[in-house]
Amino acid sequence: MNNDNSHQDSNANAANLEAANNEQALSPKAPYLEAFKNVVESRRSVRRFTDTPISDDVLRDCLRLAMLAPNSSNLQPWEFYVINTPKKRAKANKICMNQNGARTANRLIAVVARTDTWRDNAKQNIRKFPDGAAPKKVRDYYERIVPLDFLRGPAGIISIAKWGMTKAVRQFKGPVKSPYYTYEDIKNWAMYNTALAAENLILALRAHGFDSCAMGGFDEPALKKLLKLGNHHHVVMMIGAGERADNGIYHSQFRFDYDQFVKEV
């Protein structure tokens, strides 16, 4: 038994030494590494929160940081619904199954993906281009390429044409990005872009000293009715946020082996 413990301690020490050496090697060119690691490694899914409030200024900064997330063509298909009014909050708690992560949270936020804002946001990219007038290649991209990607046409006729054109280009010229053929394609695009912003929000809350619980357990039709959302709105997740309670974490954090998920090819 002692030999086994010694072997485990030796492995742990070796792993710690390797991590320290790796960090030391990265540090000269990684001035933000330690702060970033602290945020990521201290983030937990918290199920119970204290009554300590998150100020409007802090929440606004967290949402601002959320919207700096990487996203496709800067089309930003996200919206964040901060549920503040007591009546709506009580209903939202119930819609979230009255789970502790929602019910005890100081703030409850619906993270929503939009499938119908790409056209207006493409125009905004031209109108609000940061370095003077948008260059021709930028205008061409947002006025021609982006619509070609998203438009489907009556009865999907444009999608059929896009499918044929994409197949021909692949055959004669090589790899080409697949356009969005169906509404489901566009929905998936909006959902994964919005999920990136949700992760930024979660990490921003942690950097401000607060915690969060990302929740997928909710009645989406009921939530959409409460928030008066339309067919082009899709709730990616609910995020409860607040100060971590002493009993807010149910068990120690663990993940499966690195090699189970990382494949070098």
- pLDDT bin (cut points 50, 70, 90) of residue 159 is confident
Distance of CA 207 to the CA centre of its chain: 16
Q: Report domain extents, the chain.
A: 120-172
pLDDT above 50 for 8: no
Separation of alpha carbons 153 and 160, rounded Å: 9
Are 214 and 237 in contact, with CB atoms under 8 Å apart? yes
| Residue 206 token pair | 């942690």
Strands 78-82 and 107-114, bridge-based pairing: antiparallel
| Residue 193 token pair | 């872009």
Question: What ranges make up the beta strands (E) of 98-209?
Answer: 107-114
Are 166 and 176 in contact, with CB atoms under 8 Å apart? yes
In this predicted model, what pLDDT tens digit does every residue of 52-89 receive, in sequence order? 999 999 999 999 999 999 999 999 999 999 999 999 99
- Across 14-28, 58-72, 197-211, least confident range: 14-28
DSSP state of 29: G
